Structure formats: C-alpha cells, structure tokens
Structure 1
Amino acid sequence: MTVSADRVRRFGCMTAIGLALLASPVLAQQPWPPAGPPPATPPGSGPAPGPTGAPLSLFPPAPAGAEPAAADPAPAATPPDARGVRGVMVEELKAQDPELAGSLGPDNGGLSPDLWQGLPRGELESLIAAVPAGLTSPALRDLASRLLLTAADGVGPGAKGRDLAALRAEALVRVGNAAGADTLRSLAPAVLEDEDAALAWLEMRYFTDDRQAACDQVPVLLGRFRHPVWQKWQIVCQIVAGQPDMALLGLDMLREQGEKDELFTLLAEGAITGNDRPVRGVPDPTPTQFALILASGRAFPPETRITGAGPLAALARVESLALPQRLAAAERAAALGGLTAEGLRSLYEAVPEPDPKTLTVAAAKKPTPLLRAQLIRALAAEPAPAAKAGLFRVAMLAASTEMQAGTYGSLLLEEARQFRLTIGFASVAPMVARLHLLHGDLRNAGPWLNLARDDFNAGKDEGAFARLWPLAAAHGLVREADFDRTVWQRDLGGNAARDTVDSVLILLSALENTPMALPPLADGSAPPGQVKGAVLLDAIIALGTGGPAGMPAMDLAAILTDLTRAGLGEQARRIGAEAIAGLLRPEA
C-alpha cells in the first residue's frame, strides 16, 4: 500500500528519512537510561475521559488582579469605549454553534478549537464523510473519536452541504463510538434532522443494548422522513413491544406502497406468529432483517454473515448461540469499538472455570476467543505471583498487537496494575511495560521498563528488551541513539531481522525529528498542511482499515512527519508506537 496522490497533496514529499541513519556506521553503545531525570509523561497520555465531560469554555474569564484605570478628571461625557482596562476587548459572549459543538477540548483529551481554521467547508464535509468504517487500529479509532468530539470555534468559507454535527455523528457510528454519537445528538438536535445520520444513530443505539431509546425516537423520525426503512423500524419496535396487531397493520401498509422486501415481511410474520424454526436463506441480512431475527429468537445458520460493531455486539448477547460463536462475535465487536471492556469481560465470565495447567505457551500458538476468555478468568483467580506471571505471558502471546492495545488489552492491564515490582514478575517485565505503553500509561510503564533493563544488563532477557526499547523510544522515553544497532539486530535475530530493524529506525527517525512548519498563506491563515483537523483526518483515511501495521515504513513516516509539522506530535507518536509494536511482537 502506498500513499495515494490526493494524500500527497497534503502530506507533501517525504525527504530521505532514515536513509542516512541506515547507511551510518554502528551507533555507539551508551549507558541506559540516559543521565538525568526521566521525561515527564506527555500531556494527554493517560486514559481518555469519556464523551460526557463538560463542554470546553471557549471564552475564559479575564485574569484576576487587573489594575484599575486611573481616575480621569475630564468630564465623563465621552462615548463608551469598546475596550476595557489595559486594552482588553469587551465583547458579548456568543453561544456555541450547535453544528460545531462537542464534548472535548484541549483540557480533556480533544484538540484545540481552531482545528478547522481556514479549511473550506466543502473539503471538511468530504473529509468527515470519508472516515472509514471498520477501523481495527485502537489508536486510529481513539484519535478519530477525539477529533470528531472536539468543540470547534469556526470553519472556513463555503456553502453548506450537510450539517457538520450530523456528519460527525455518522462518522462516530462508523468507528464504533455509539456513546460519542449519542453525545453529539444531545448537543446538536440537527443530528436527528439529517436522515443518514439519524438512521446510523438509530441502528447503533438499537444494537448496542439501548433498544428502548432507539424505539422511542422511531415515531418522530417516521413523521420526519418518508423512506420505507422507517416504517420497517416501526414494525420491528412494535413486535418487540408486544404489539402484533399494529405490526401487521404496518406490513399491510408496506405492501400497499409497493415495498418489495419480501424477506423482511416473512421474517416479521414469523416473529409475530412465533415461528421457532431456524432461519434459512438470509446470508447477508439488512439491519432491519437482523433485528427481526433477534426479536424472534430463532437460531442463526452458521453461514449468516454479520458485520458492523453494533450488530456484532448484539449477536454476542444472544444466549441461545453456542458460546464459541458468541465469544468470536464479542471479540470482533470489541475490535471495531462496539464493545466495552466491561461488556467483553461479562462474556468471558460465561466461560466455565478453566484448569490453569492447560493454559500454556503451546496453547497460545493456536489462540482462540475461548482460550483468551479462559486466560482472563484464570488470571483474576490466580493468587501466586509466579503462576500469575506465567498466565500473563500466555495471555499476551495469545493476542495480536491490536488486541493488546484494545479492549482485550485493557482487561489484561487491569490485572497487570496489581502486579508488584518483585522478582516473581521480573520475567514478564518487558511485556508488562509493553502493555502500559500501548495504552499510553507512560508513568506506570517506567518502573517496568527499568526492571526489564536490569534483566537485559544481567544477560537474562533473551531478546525481550530488544523488542521493548523502540516502543519506549516512540513515546519519547528513551533515545534510539543510546543503543548499539549491531547488538540490537543480533538480539532480534541477526540478518533475518534486517528489514524489521530498518523499518523501525525509519519510523523512529520520523518521530524524533521536528520538521519545519510551513509558512502561512498571504492572508495570514494556516496553509492546508497546517490545518490540524484536516491533517489528522487525512492520516486516518490514508491508513484506513489496515491501520499503521498495514502501511510501508516510508509511507507511514511521511504521515508521521506531516502530523508533527502540523503540531500533532503526540498523535503521531501514538500511531507510530502502534506500528512499531506490531513490528516487534513479543516472543515466547
């Protein structure tokens, strides 16, 4: 995959990042960690506040203690001045534009309110509409949510196409953030006045276990829009509410209007009459068809394909399904942002209590959702530090980097935060540090990083530290120049690891260099490559469903460089760290 031509327009041409580094002699070995106190945790690296945080005030109060103006002996017949004390402008506070409203700002995990400054409105609408569904990268999903929930103070010129709050709510649904979409709906009523956004919101709320809230809005939306899908949703809600006569009347109206969805009609009639035979011939159900199957309680055929964060989360809650099928749906939903850690844990707890002796490193080589559920259960129940460390190792090996950085990893992190810095956990210190770094917990990663370094210096670590320090360097905790490349490559596997080493060094070089900012335009506004929101959206769109792990190092380095140039260095580090972690997965 390469960066497409329309992305190069904003990202610019990539300079020879890393080439000089790759051609240079072996880097000098330096003591680690570097002298001096460890770097402070970067702002915003801790857990992100939920979308229900207080809206950012765009108009801070005047500073206290301002010196009053001296008394003026002249008559007070002068016209009122718009300026206050010491030249401070006194203006009437303006209400936040609902179209640009959001629950986040720079003080609680969002971007600065000038994130769209100077960007033509038409381009902004196109960028938001292009945010892809199915993002499996936790970093991209989180950054997309923060961006879309940020309160903005303006947008560039251009005619209005669609409401920006509606576009953002729809994009939040695509990245699996049902709570965020609902937050925008509460801040901007226009979200439910846009048919596409209203339908996306309704489907997500219905399938994420908030059925009543969705059905309460159906009569209003049915009166507002004329597409048959709203009548179908009304029939679904009537069946769920135990109103079969009303649902049959609705089906008759659909027929009279010439609606051709015979499969919907058959499923609705089956749900009304109590047909309990397994569903057949519905390999790719629409959302309303899927809702009817759920309402009927009928069994799903194995060939039925369910996609999307909300429908997968709903499928995971179907108690009549076989447990392995529910667990697989739950993990797929979590990978798309549709299931919280609490929701995933509740599914895992349905697994019978495992025998810890069967949960070995060998089992982790063929990981399954059932194995991961058993490991989470066994970890929580195991009291002995050494045995707990062994289970933690298997649990990490049984998961991909995206899973470690996502919902499954957050369950592991709950257990890891109870570990003590003792010899019993020294063998898994690199993995514990890795997990903290993947979740942005830099402060608690530090002690485990030091413990892993101690094992490395004592010759006990067998290459684990070689897979850890680049991730710490991506977060700015250590410097790549402090490590001997020859020793590092040897610990990673020698010549077989050369491509991996080169890719990691290219990404670290992009993160450690500070590119020169582009000059402003003639009118003083920011150039296209400096509009924060646009640069971040471009990165999310370019990386797409494959995420950072699916892009060549040079292309990704170009994206990281342009993020940093636009003042988004912290966001660049999160993306780069996830990519580096994927290149350097821990080994047994």
Structure 2
Amino acid sequence: MIAFLCNKSRITLPVLTWRVALLSCAIGVVPMVALAQTATNAPVQLGVPSPSQSTGGDAGPDQPDYNPGGVTSTPLPPLPRQMPDQQVPGQQVPGANGESISNAAPADAGNVTTTGQAPGLIDDRQGGLGTGLWQGSSAVKLTALLPQLPAPVSEPALRDLQLRLLLTQAAGPSAAAGIDSLVPLRADRLHVMGFDDEALQLAQQRGVPGVVSDPREAVDRLWISDDKDGACKQVQAQVADEQSIEAYWRRALVYCQILQGETDRASIGLDLLREQAAGDPQTKDFITVASVLLGDTKAQGIKKPIANPDPLLAAMMKQAKLPGAAASASVRPTGVALTAAIARDGSKPLLERIQAAETAFAFGLISADELAALYQQVKAAAADTELAGADTPEHRARLYQRAQQGQMPESRLQWVTQALRDARARGDYFSAVALYAPLLAQMTPNPSLAQFAPEVARALFAAGNTDRAGFWLNLATGPGSNPQTARDAAGLRLLGRIAGLYGSRDAGTDPVADWRQASGASEAAGERLYGILAGLGDSVAGRDATSFAGGNRDIAAAAQAGRRGETVLLALIALNANGKKLAQADSAALAQSLGGLTAVGLQQDARRIGTEAAILAGL
C-alpha cells in the first residue's frame, strides 16, 4: 500500500517530519500503481499467455508500471487504483441463508463526490474505496462493527483491504460540524494493527484528541507535552487495581511520588527498584536520575551520559535540568509496532532484531529490503549441509543468502523452494512469498526446471503474478512431469482458476472433486473451495450461491444496497469469526464475504482473498 508515505520509516520519524512526508505524498510525490487485472467473463483455454498478454511485472494497458498485486507488496503495498471489474450483467452472487442477489446495477459507492476534505489519508487515485464509502449505513451499526475488525492481520489480501478501508478519505454517515464518530474508531484499529503514525495522522487530521488504545502510550504523550499532573493521574489510575505492576509503571509511580513531595515513599520504591535493576539499563538510568531529584546524588556526579531516554526518563531529566532531556521526541511504540522498532534498533542483538523483523514483516510493518538486510548480516553457511538444519532465524537467513547468491537457476530454485516449503509448514507462507517472489519473477521456465514448477507456480499465484504463474503451471502439467508433479497439477489448475487464470469449463466437470481424489484432501477443505468459487460467481457441480445456507444475512443486505464500507466491514469480520483466521473460515463465510465484495465492485480483492484462502485450504 502506498510505498507508504515516500518510503519513510513510520516508526522512527518524528511527528512533524512525518506530517511533512505525508503532505508531500498527498500532492503527488509518490506515483501509485494499479492492482487489478481485469478478468474476462468468457472461458479462456488454459495455456501459455499470448505475446499480447502481460506477464507479471510487465506493463499492462494504460499503466506503465502495471502491478497485479499480491503479497509481494508488503509492507503497506502499493495501493491499487480502483478499476471497474467486468462482470456479467445480472450475475448471481451469494446471499445469506440460501438466497442470491444480483449485481446487475451495483450502487456507485466509489464515485460519490463530496465537498471539502473528508477524513482519511488516501483518495481514489491511491486505491481508496470511494468518498461515499460509509454513506447509506447506520452510524450506530458502523460504530459497533469497526472495533470488531481483526488486528493485527498477517494475511496480505485481508490486511491490504482493511488498511484501504480505514485510510480512505470518506466521511461517516453522521459527520457534522467537523465531528466524525468513525474517525477515532478507524484510528484505533490502525493503532492495534501496528500502524501508529497513520493512526495519529488520521486522528490529528480531524482534531480527535487522545486516540490511543495503549495506556502507556497515553501517559507517554502526556510526559512529552509536559502535562505532569495529567500523567500522574493516569499513572495512579493504572496501578490502583493492579496486583502485579510492570516495571514501567513502578518507575512512573516513583517519579510521581517525587513530584508530589512524597519523598519517603519514593525512596522506598527506589530501593525496591535497585533490587530489581540487574540487567535492565533502563531501570538503572531511571535510578540515576531519580537519585538526583531526591537529592541523593549531584547532577555533576553523573559521569556517563544517558542516551535515548524514553518519554518518562526525558521528563525526569528535564525536571532535574540534566543535559539530553530533549532526546526523546516520540512515543515509544507498543504492541506489534514495537517489533518494527526492535528490528530497526542497532543496539539490539542481531538474532533479536531478526526475530522481531520477521514478525513485523508478516504484519506489513517493515519492507522486504529491511528484512533481507538483516538476513545478510548473519554469518554465511560454510557448506550446503549446514542448510539442512532446524528452521531457525539463522537458518532462514542462510537460505535467503544462498538463494540470492545462486548463479544457476537450478541452484537458486533449490533454496527458494526449500524456504517456501519450510514457511508453509510453519504457517508463514505468505511472508516467504513476499520475500522471494521478486527472485521467482526473474526466472524463465524451461523443461530442466520442471521439478520446481509446482512450487513456483503456487508462489506466483499467491503473489498476484497470475500470467507468469500460468507459464510454470503449463510446465508442471506438461509432458515429462513426474508422478508427484502430476498429483499437484489438479490443485494448481484449480488455484489458477481462482486466481483468475481460467481454464475451460466443460459441463459436468468438478475440479474440486478432481483435486480431492488426487490429493486425498478432506471434505472440509473441499467445502471451503466450493465456497470460494461460489463467492467469485463460479458455480461448480451445482454449488452456487443457493448452496450455502447460514452465514451473515447482513452482508447480502449491505451489498445489495450498495453500502460498500459496511459490506467490507462485515466481510472482514466474517472471515475472522470468533478469532479464527482465514485458514479456518468456513464455506458459508467465504461464499458470503467474497460474494459481497464482488457485488460492490471489489472483485479483484475478492479474488486475492480467495487465492490466499485456497492455498491455506491445501492447494
């Protein structure tokens, strides 16, 4: 999504600098690329794309840097320019409890023109979902739904759509007098997803004070603004009912006691901290400054400068008139955003930074380049035998190094496919695809690489590089393929169909049944695939919209009425029902959600989500 905001670090930038960066991007410094591939409605014979077709990174029509999307775009991938999907007039899409709805005349939710600047950070040119996104929906219903959005989100298609939903410049249905009740809820979800700076910008854009979920962050903001009374009130409220107090709150409480003249209690608290300070530089620095404030130590006696104080310590240093008090200009990240900060902290051990970077990358908070740079710092394997060990961060780093250094396609693909298989086994497949897809896009399929073709085709489908994946699919299913490759072929053909590379649709064929027979997959996995296909308007073996009773009736109602924002909200929530992730979404939820997205003109988002769900189901 947005190379977001001029490729600047969202975690480390001071607020003012970040606002300038955001403004620069808003006036057109960063060009946006398209995501959507326009799907044709007529069946297309599966085969090698014609020379006139785009192959992945090649330019598409009217788009010099055409990008079909996919997980390669993390973090905050280049937001798509919303392109109208070609749909069959009157196409039936899943409704709730067995009924179906038609998209013959979808509401023009993405093209409503409003006056003034609506709250949000991206417009339609940058992949926004339309200024009329929230119109027609009940404000009460939206305020109940927004807090239910899952966060953080590791599935790239779901994360990208959710970010676009939250960042789109669009006023809430009851916005009046400059007050929009949806803005703080949107900012809160961004914060929990780890996008703290975006959350802050959205809140400040509309003058919404204190949009902070984490109590420590709220107190840190008060220290920075020099509101000691406000900070201490919140500190006391935080520790009042706590049986076990974290180190930060212990330190904050001692400082508040000092400020309030309760020196005896502060001294006792400081003594307790001294007993627990071993191995904690932050607490040791706190004790040093607190001792100055209590008069136990003279400021001139501090020989070692205190570097990079957090907001609490910076406030204490300012109170004690110590140098370096202004060193902390921003709030310490919390939650999942902290993983990005740790990854970028050069003072941390390399292994700790890599582990944090892998987590941050999975949630879209750092770029592939940042993770790769950390991988490159690991000592290289002396021999190939060292690459057969346990799946650890060092092991993953060495695999990446070998894949980067491989001179011959066979050697490079050996390491890439091993990394992809390992990632799939540990449940981190889409992150690995995002990291390795650029390498795969450089590979040219040829018969000598047939053994790698299934894994490469799957990864390229996941990356949104559908046409190039088709080349590898042809290689995997062509003459001379080995028995294992032949077993993979049924699943890969079905995955290609879901991703948008349609094969012939002969009457009476059932690709899901073919895949189950070839792979031995479970009935539950097959049902999920039927649901995905039905949601995309692709009826298989009579399994259309009317086949999936249950689900959420509200998705169909919102989609039929053209309430795009509400439809997306309901779909995202349904696909994460009861905290279960996309891998556990049932057939009804998939059919309802993907069908609703298709009905409101978001067919390409539906297809991306369907592709990822299909891979998680076993394709």
Q: TM-score, normalised by structure 2?
A: 0.61
For 1:452, the equivalent position in structure 2 comes to: 476
Give unpaired runs (5+ residues) of structure 2: 1-43, 55-59, 83-112, 238-251, 290-308, 317-332, 546-556
Shift of 1:142: 1.4
1:437 pairs, out of 446, 457, 461, with 461
Matching of residues 400-415 of structure 1 within 5 Å: 400=424, 403-406=428-431, 408-415=432-439
For the Cα contact (< 8 Å) 2:187–2:199, is it kept in 1?
A: yes
What's the CA shift for 1:394?
Answer: 0.4
Distance 1:336 1:261 in 2: 42
Output the CA distance in 2 between the equivalents of 1:478 and 1:549.
24
Decide whether the 8 Å contact of 2:534 with 2:595 is kept in 1: no
Instruction: State the partner residue of 2:528.
Output: 503
Structure 1: 5+ residue stretches without partners: 1-29, 58-91, 204-213, 233-245, 276-287, 296-305, 517-524
1:219 to 204, 221, 224: 224
Shift of 1:163: 4.3
CA distance in 1, matches of 2:216, 2:141: 22
In 1, are the aligned partners of 2:423 and 2:429 still within 8 Å (CA)? Answer: yes
Q: Which residue of 2 aligns with 1:252?
A: 258
Q: 8 Å contact 1:507–1:556 — kept in the other structure?
A: yes
**SS at structure 2 position matched to 1:96:** coil
What corresponds to 1:124 in structure 2? 142
> Hey, what does 1:557 align to over in structure 2?
591
Q: 1:35 to 1:197 in 2, by over 3 A?
A: closer
How far the C-alpha of 1:390 sits from its partner, in A, is 0.8
Matched, 1:488 2:505: no
Matched, 1:347 2:374: yes
Distance change in 2, residues 1:33/1:53 (3 Å): closer
CA distance change for structure 1 residues 158 and 190 in 2, over 3 Å: closer, same or farther? closer
- Separation (CA, whole Å) in 1 of partners of 2:609 and 2:79: 27
Structure-2 residue corresponding to 1:16: none
1:155 corresponds to which letter in structure 2?
P
Which residue number in structure 2 is paired with residue 181 of structure 1?
199
Counterpart of 2:421 (choices 385, 388, 397) is 397
CA contact (8 A) 1:119 1:156 kept: no
CA distance in 2, matches of 1:149, 1:114: 13
What is the deviation of 1:179? 5.1
Please list, as runs of the form range in 1=range in 2, the aligned pairs for 1:528-567 lying within 5 A after superposition: 530-544=562-576, 545-567=579-601
1:142 to 129, 153, 160: 160
Amino acid at match of 1:252: I
Amino acid in structure 1 at the alignment position of 2:69: G
What secondary structure sits across from 1:461 in the alignment? helix
Q: Cα distance 1:94–1:498, how it changes in 2: closer, same or farther (>3 A)?
A: closer
- Aligned partner of 2:428: which letter? M
Q: Which amino acid aligns with 2:286?
A: I
Which among 271, 296, 316 is matched to residue 285 of structure 2? 271
Change in Cα spacing, 1:322 to 1:37, as seen in structure 2 (3 Å) is: closer
2:123 partner letter: L
Q: Distance in 2 between matches of 1:274 and 1:455?
A: 74
SS in 1 for 2:68: coil
Secondary structure of 2:173 counterpart: coil
Please give the secondary structure, in 2, of the residue aligned with 1:463: helix
- Between 1:430-439 and 1:36-45, the stretch displaced more is 36-45
Give the paired residue count: 457
Q: CA, structure 1 residues 95+484, in 2 after alignment: closer, same or farther (shift >3 Å)?
A: closer
**Structure 2 Cα separation of the partners of residues 171 and 264 of structure 1:** 40
- Indicate if the aligned counterparts of 2:143 and 2:182 stay in contact, CA closer than 8 A: yes
User: 2:361 touches 2:371 (CA, 8 Å); kept in 1?
Assistant: yes
1:436/1:444 contact within 8 Å kept: yes
Aligned-pair CA distance for 1:322: 5.6
Tell me the amino acid that sits aligned with residue 347 of structure 1: L
- Rounded to whole Å, the distance in 2 between the matches of 1:324 and 1:51 is 25
CA distance in 2, matches of 1:113, 1:569: 19
Amino acid at match of 1:136: S
Out of 199, 207, 213, the position equivalent to 1:190 is 207
Distance 1:450 1:395 in 2: 23
Question: Given that residues 417 and 456 in structure 2 are in contact (C-alpha distance below 8 angstroms), is that contact kept between their aligned partners in structure 1?
Answer: no
CA contact (8 A) 2:574 2:589 kept: no
Using structure 1 for the length normalisation, give the TM-score.
Answer: 0.63
- Percent identity of equivalent pairs: 27
How far off its partner does 1:397 sit?
0.6
Matches for 1:87-102 after TM superposition, within 5 Å: 94-97=115-118, 100-102=119-121
Distance in 1, matches of 2:120 and 2:353, equals: 37
Residue 402 (structure 2) pairs with residue 378 (structure 1): yes
- Provide the C-alpha distance between the structure 1 equivalents of 2:270 and 2:607, rounded to a whole number of angstroms: 49
- Asked whether the 8 Å contact 1:309–1:334 carries over to 2, the reply is no
